[in-house]
Amino acid sequence: MKILEPTEEHVREAAEALLGGKLVGLPTETVYGIAAHAFDEAAVRRTFEIKERPPNNPLIVHLAGVDQVPEVAAEWPSFAATLADRFWPGPLTLVVPKAPKVPMAVTGGLDTVAVRVPLHPVAQLLLSVSRVPLSAPSANRFMGLSPTRAEHLDPSIADALFCILDGGPCEYGIESTVVDCSGPTPHILRPGGISRAQIERCLGPLESPTNSSKRRSPGQYERHYAPRAAVRIVEKLGPDDCGICLSEPVSDEQIQLPADPGKYASRLYEALRTLDLKRHPQILIEAPPDAPEWEAVWDRLRKASG
Ligand code: TXA
Ligand code: MG
């Protein structure tokens, strides 16, 4: 596993490797990704292979800035522009009609493309040095936990990469919010780093999708983001349980996470990973509050528990 300090020289080497068709472990503010030159179809296909991801589950294209949007998008609806202006760079992905230049391999055969401008300084540097859009799914194996530190990448993925740029622990710890901007009104396809309330403060209340306007995100499965152990959500951990609690832990088999949803999210995958390594058959999670600001955390907990 080749984990490199993100010096200017290493970032330049990584950019050259990407332009030469290789894959690079990319730190972002949400989770680590597997970056490829988005217009290099062979490199994109290899991304799917090493993740063992079905080819119809599209990738997010990462851009250095909003000025790169015309390279990948055929249209830029006004609400996409408003959201990008407010939240980029940051953990928000916008789905818009794709430009012909984006290979169908990236979009899983769809005529739309998901784009985002990441906030992490190492991601920004790599994007500006390589000067091409980079496709990057989370760097987990299909259905596994997304890595939030360089050393958390599965060796089978890490070994297939030119290198992993070490950007330290990810600030948000869960993936970006995905908003479908390809229809007449915007809809959240995946809750994430930017909350529904933040988006509604910017655009006004979101309409709930009607059946005809509802486009499903092909990457949304009932079970996802899951450790090896079975995950169950409970009201309170018992003294002998292995799991995640909000209250004081009573053993080394329990990890307490903060009562703030953002801080909780930033440590969730790491906590699940740590508990999974203990090889208990079951991980129990104390239910966080049933409140709107916990929507993204609840989404991941439901998907971890299948
Ligand atoms: O935070 C993130 O978004 C991370 C970092 C690395 O940027 N990336 C990430 O990528 O989570 P991935 O591939 O694990 O998740 C991409 C999500 C999937 O749910 C996929 O279905 C959705 O975005 N998506 C991508 N393109 C889409 C499209 N054209 N239409 C609808 N959904 C799309
Ligand atoms: Mg993922």
Q: How many whole angstroms from 137 Cα to the centroid of ligand 2? A: 6
pLDDT of amino acid 211: 62
CA of 219 to the centre of ligand 1 (A): 7
Written as six digits, the tokens of 213 are 């306007």
Cβ pair 30, 170 in contact under 8 A: yes
The pLDDT value given to residue 218: 72
237 CA distance to ligand 1 middle (Å): 33
Tell me the one-letter amino acid at 148.
Answer: T
Work out whether strand 163-165 and strand 3-4 pair parallel, antiparallel, or are unpaired. Answer: parallel
Burial group, residue 48, by CB count within 10 angstroms (0-12, 13-18, 19+): buried
- Give the position, in ligand 1's atom list, of the atom nearest the Cα of 26: 6
* Residues 122 and 11: beta-carbon distance below 8 Å: yes
Residue 243 pLDDT:
98
Q: What is the pLDDT of residue 30?
A: 98
Of 301, 236, 232, 305, nearest in space to 269 by CA: 301
At 224 the pLDDT is 73
Residues of the chain with pLDDT under 70: 1, 210-216, 219
- Dump strand ranges (E) for the chain: 3-4, 24-26, 33-37, 60-62, 92-97, 112-116, 134-135, 163-165, 177-180, 187-190, 230-234, 243-245, 254-256, 282-286
Q: Which residues line ligand 1 (CB under 6 A)?
A: 28, 30-31, 33, 57-60, 91, 93, 95, 107, 110, 112-114, 136-138, 175-176, 178, 189-190, 217-220
pLDDT at 207: 86
Amino acid 226: pLDDT? 78
> Pocket of ligand 1, candidates 32, 50, 60, 127: which has the most ligand atoms within 8 Å of its Cβ, to mutate?
60
pLDDT score for 3: 98
Residues 6+ apart with CB under 8 A from 87: 194, 198, 202
